Amino acid sequence: MSCDEEKMSGIEKRKAELRSAPKTWSWSKAVRLLTAIGFEQGSGSGSVRTFFRATDGAKIALHEPHPSDEMKKYQIKDLRVFLEEKGDL
Task: Tell me the C-alpha to C-alpha distance, in Å, between residue 38 and each of 2, 11, 56, 88.
Answer: 21, 12, 10, 10
The pTM of the full predicted model, rounded to 2 decimals, is 0.86
CB-CB contact of 77 with 21 (8 Å): yes
Do residues 25 and 71 touch, judged by C-beta distance below 8 A? yes
Task: Provide mean pLDDT across the span 60-87.
Answer: 94
Give the domain ranges of the chain. Answer: 3-85
Does the pLDDT of residue 17 top 80, yes or no?
yes
CATH code of the domain occupying 3-85: 3.30.920.30
pLDDT at 9: 79
pLDDT at 45: 77
What tens digit of pLDDT does each residue of 29-71 get? 999 999 999 999 987 778 899 999 999 999 999 999 989 999 9
